Structure 1
Amino acid sequence: MEINIRLLKRIDSEKRNKNVGGLKKIISELENVDAENLKNKKKIILYYALECTYSFLSEYNKEDDFYDKRINNFRKSIKVIESLGSYKIDRDMNHQICHIYLKYANILDNCGRSNLAIEYYQKILELDSRNVNAKLDYAVCLCQYTWTMTVVSKNIEAIKYFAAKLFMEAFEMAKFSTIKEGNIKYYTEGYNKLIDKKIRDMKLDEIETRLIQAIILFDHITNNSNAEYVYRKWVSENCLFLHPLNEITTRTKEFSEDLCFDILHFKSMVKLDELNPFYREIFNEMKQTFIYCRLLMYEVITEELVDPHYGDLNTFIFSEDTNIKYSIKMEKLKNVFRLAYSVYDKIAFFINVYFELNMAEKRVSIKSIWKPIREKLNSVSRSPLLHGPSDNRGLNGLYWNSRDVHNINDDNEDPVDLELADADHTRNCLEHRHVSIVNKVLPNSNDQNKIYYISEEELKQKSMRMLKLLREALICLCSAVNLEEDKRKDNYKDNDIVNVSVYKDEWKI
């Protein structure tokens, strides 16, 4: 099968003719192509063509939106793009990359994964600062994102000004672009709905002034030590603060990194029973575990030891294989992955209680909460969370986030997240088997299944990826609860509201 632009035209033709059989035939042909023997640019076209075909097929299939297939093919395409040197990317290629990034960001936003979507909207604008569609979709994403934020109200005001700025710049650029009039009308309606009238009545220069005024700088460096400053700068640059704005502050010149700290918490909660303290306590524990893992990761990455750690001296650990690494540093690295992974089942435990799934505690896991529940031998009831209810962006985001860590369907299909394809296996080995961290994994070294070998660099990459996914999961969980609490306030107007208390850090000593 020839992988070229004519292929994309054939897909468009089958879509216009509503030929479902033709689309399925194209998918079958494309999935049988040996991608390894293709040049990089043709690989990008192959994966993009597969995504387009699944996207069109979803329009005629009410049972499946094929999000997993589409996300997987986007990621394969992006992996190839990121392997290209910038010198290999010409103007046409740059346009194609922006188009792929935009479609990927939009599908992430539709899945409720605003944090990850924001990252790709920003990448597009770094490649093409005059990309009208990216500015408009980014603005819509930000407006929806503010609905579930639990941050200082002035921060939300700043985001609204920033979204309005994106809208106004895009509308001005659209006058000189080829964007369709119908699309502009659609975004104009969104602008009028999402942006307050008092902001819409302002001119662009006034909005830019208000944006600067709305940004509050926080004195979060408590003891002004250089070590703390370096640590927080690393956290901010890697988007690891438990703060929904971290992605925005890190890559957007209008914002300051000083906005970032760990402020993620539930809003006021309707008191339906005596479990309110339980919800806060288990969420606090999950946050603290994440914060601990984050610090361990920082220490692993930044420690440059000339001599062994004093805790490793005189331990009489001996190995004839100089490729294997034993040290406290390696144990820290193992713990980052192991602990971050374990928080997911605590999230599932929380959801089971809070959303009243009534699953037996021993059956609760991040996989099981999304699955049908078998009550009797031949009786199956759908989990109320199956595939994430569409009216709760937080739960939708959490479902798709968990798909990156675990294969929910237990089938042999391609993993949604390419970096964590064997996360379950890695965790099981770390927890229950012998794991050797090595400088380099030798060919066929894992075939005998007695010892699991993994390179230090690979485990670092997986642990960092796991940390970032856990951060997103906690933000999604917080959003899901906040959206649910908004409903409960309407349904239980006579119940007491329990507000959040703010504590200083000194009580932790």
Structure 2
Amino acid sequence: MHGEKIEKLGLEIDLAADNSDQVRLEQLLLDCDTLMNNETRKNRSVLFFYKANCYSALRMIERKTLDDTWSWHQERQIAEVLNLRSAVVETGFEQLSDGMRCKMLTNIANGLSSLGRTIESISYYDKVLSLIDNFAMAVGNKAINQFHYGQHLYDYGHSGVFFFHANKELSRFGTEPLLWDSGVQKDALDAFISYRDVTDEILNNIEFDSSFDFNDFSLGESKKEQDYRKWCLKQRLFINPLNDVLDATIAANDILHLPSHVYAVGEEPRFPKYFNLLKQEFIVSRYMLYEFTTSNLDHYSDNDVLLENGLDGVQFGYRNELLKNSLRVSYSIFDKIALFLNDYMNIGLKVDGVNFRNIWGMYNKKEKKLEIHPCFLESENWMLRGLYFLSKDLYAPNFQDVSEPEAKELHYIRKMAEHRYLGIQEYPAQVDDTEYLKYITVDDLEGKSLKMLRLAREALIYLSLAMHVEERKREEARGDGLIVPIQSTRL
């Protein structure tokens, strides 16, 4: 399709959206699908973007009659995010203008933020600002996202750091020229100014020390430890919310645990035990990936090991097994988070059948819809909702509604690594996969392992902060009375 026709299709979508023409938007979605197969990679990226715009418009039409602010059913927005992500992973995405790419990435970030995926959204805002550092909608919305993230922390000192960084970005409005992709949007500008004023007041009230040196903290005594911690900071892999707003040494620790919480008299204080194990498995998975990236190809454990040449290009050795096992361990964390929720939220599923996709509710096969448990539906908990929508980045055979284009592939790779055979190649070889054995390049597996680590970290942070919100709600429901809170303490 020529550029003129692509542009015309976009204008038709805009017109249908302006007219709230639901029937026309549904037809335009089909038109995008029809055109998709015969297009260049660049145009496919644009068509995915147009599909996302259709879903966004349909969602806005439906919101006129139903307030879905706290709804856990967000099929339109999930479809919007999925198509935007599909646009970005197309190889043709890199051929688009910086402005178009920034618009797509900002829309993903905004969508994820509204779903409660505050951590993932920050990474997309940062991608925008790495392309155009004064892209107004990314600057402002990232700051608002940071503000709300900070509100959900149980460490109020950390909250102040979030408010400070949000305020610093919001203060750019009115003091420097910012790029608005389609002219200054007054409603958005007013919102950004309002949040700036709120953060000004908060920082003044708490007497925040803006001269505080965030880099005046040790990274360890040995160079090995310092290098490891620098890598974790750069990759944003510390279980510490501060690592989402800065990579200074103050964030170079895994300080986040569980908030203060309450048990009934005689009840076992078990949740810190669960979280200890979750954190430790994450730390090991993280270090395995780090060791892979920094170790030599040869390891003495590989000496005198007899292996036969399979003529398929598979590379063996300790180093590659680190990579494979990092993925396996980080992926396993999600089902254990589901077990935590099963116990903490009193859901009552049999332990043997709990996983990260079915913990949220029962799937109605007749209506092809997930019936979410009331304990979640009735909880206006942004972080818990974020954890739920994070589950849609993972594929499961009975839960195929995903918001991540690579979800099914990641599921398959994990299955092959865990239960069958996964062969790691330095370069793709001319051999076919079988139902027993799948091949993957080392670079591809490294990228997927890092992706799973970041997702596991995000889930662990949401779990802790969601518990903080729930504990405050339970405290309000209990009213006055004698309670003994349990605060996590160091070993």
TM-score normalised to structure 2 length: 0.87
8 Å CA contact retained: 1:154, 1:216: no
Paired residue for 1:163, among 166, 180, 197?
166
Find the counterpart in structure 1 of residue 69 from structure 2: none
8 Å CA contact retained: 1:393, 1:479: no
**Does residue 1:247 correspond to 2:244, yes or no?**
yes
Q: CA 1:12 to 1:492, structure 2 compared with 1: closer, same or farther past 3 Å?
A: same
Matches within 5 A, 1:311-322: 311-321=301-311
Q: CA 1:43 to 1:275, structure 2 compared with 1: closer, same or farther past 3 Å?
A: farther
Matches within 5 A, 1:453-492: 453-492=439-478
**Does residue 1:29 correspond to 2:28, yes or no?**
no
Paired residue for 1:139, among 143, 149, 153?
143
Output the CA distance in 2 between the equivalents of 1:363 and 1:122. 38
Q: CA 1:399 to 1:201, structure 2 compared with 1: closer, same or farther past 3 Å?
A: closer
Q: CA 1:292 to 1:326, structure 2 compared with 1: closer, same or farther past 3 Å?
A: same
Output the CA distance in 2 between the equivalents of 1:182 and 1:428. 48
**Does residue 1:297 correspond to 2:300, yes or no?**
no
- The amino acid of 1:169's aligned partner reads R
Q: CA 1:119 to 1:275, structure 2 compared with 1: closer, same or farther past 3 Å?
A: farther
Output the CA distance in 2 between the equivalents of 1:19 and 1:143. 36
Output the CA distance in 2 between the equivalents of 1:466 and 1:172. 39
**Does residue 1:154 correspond to 2:157, yes or no?**
yes
Shift of 1:160: 1.3
Q: CA 1:431 to 1:60, structure 2 compared with 1: closer, same or farther past 3 Å?
A: same
Q: CA 1:443 to 1:403, structure 2 compared with 1: closer, same or farther past 3 Å?
A: farther
Give a deviation string over 1:142-174, Cα, whole Å, max 9, x none. 1100122244x4332222122122222214448
Q: Which runs of 5+ in 1 are unaligned?
A: 251-255, 375-379
- The amino acid of 2:30's aligned partner reads S
Output the CA distance in 1 between the equivalents of 2:381 and 2:39. 43
Give a deviation string over 1:361-389, Cα, whole Å, max 9, x none. 12211111123278xxxxx9642366x76
Paired residue for 2:219, among 215, 218, 221?
221
Find the counterpart in structure 2 of residue 406 from structure 1: 395
Output the CA distance in 2 between the equivalents of 1:322 and 1:176. 51
Instruction: Look up the SS of the partner of 1:372 in the other structure.
Output: strand
Paired residue for 2:106, among 82, 102, 118?
102
Q: CA 1:285 to 1:188, structure 2 compared with 1: closer, same or farther past 3 Å?
A: same
How many residue pairs were aligned? 472
Give a deviation string over 1:413-453, Cα, whole Å, max 9, x none. 7x53234432222222222223322334445611x413222
Paired residue for 1:331, among 295, 315, 321?
321
8 Å CA contact retained: 1:312, 1:328: yes
Q: CA 1:318 to 1:72, structure 2 compared with 1: closer, same or farther past 3 Å?
A: same
Shift of 1:499: 4.2
Q: CA 1:230 to 1:409, structure 2 compared with 1: closer, same or farther past 3 Å?
A: same
Output the CA distance in 1 between the equivalents of 2:154 and 2:91. 35
8 Å CA contact retained: 2:421, 2:437: yes
Output the CA distance in 1 between the equivalents of 2:310 and 2:413. 25
8 Å CA contact retained: 1:373, 1:383: no
Q: Which moved more, 1:4-13 or 1:24-33?
A: 4-13
Find the counterpart in structure 2 of residue 253 from structure 1: none
Find the counterpart in structure 2 of residue 425 from structure 1: 412
- The amino acid of 1:229's aligned partner reads Q
TM-score normalised to structure 1 length: 0.84
**Does residue 1:122 correspond to 2:121, yes or no?**
no
Q: CA 1:98 to 1:454, structure 2 compared with 1: closer, same or farther past 3 Å?
A: closer
Output the CA distance in 1 between the equivalents of 2:178 and 2:440. 54
Shift of 1:64: 4.7
Q: CA RMSD in A?
A: 2.9
Output the CA distance in 2 between the equivalents of 1:330 and 1:355. 39
Paired residue for 2:338, among 314, 336, 348?
348
Paired residue for 1:266, among 253, 258, 267?
258
Q: Matched residues, percent identical? A: 25
